[in-house]
Amino acid sequence: MSDKSKVIKVKKNSQGDITDVMLDNGSVCSINEAINMAKDDLIEGVNVGKAKNGREYLRSNPNGDEGDNLDSKPTF
């Protein structure tokens, strides 16, 4: 069994950008904290991408299932 957390819910701003994530242990992290956790391999099923402007962002690992994309997660 993995001791990694999973993202179960997301919080978005008025532009639709994810600002915070809720993990399966109930803790809430800012998107920047979650990006750092993903870099440290502490969150399962996600990776860190880099936009053309150099900004890093969190994304689901590609698996062909759009239902588990971060934008498709329930909000809190």
State which residues form the domain around 52. Answer: 5-62
How many domains does the chain contain in total? 1
Residue 7 confidence (pLDDT) = 97
* 53 within some domain: yes
* 70 within some domain: no
pTM for this prediction = 0.90
* 45 within some domain: yes
* 67 within some domain: no
Query: What does the pLDDT average to over 7-16?
Result: 97
Residue 1 confidence (pLDDT) = 54
* 21 within some domain: yes
* 73 within some domain: no
For 16-61, the pLDDT digits (tens) are 999 999 999 999 999 999 999 999 999 999 999 999 999 999 999 9
Q: Which of 18, 16, 30, 12 is nearest to 59 (CA)?
A: 18
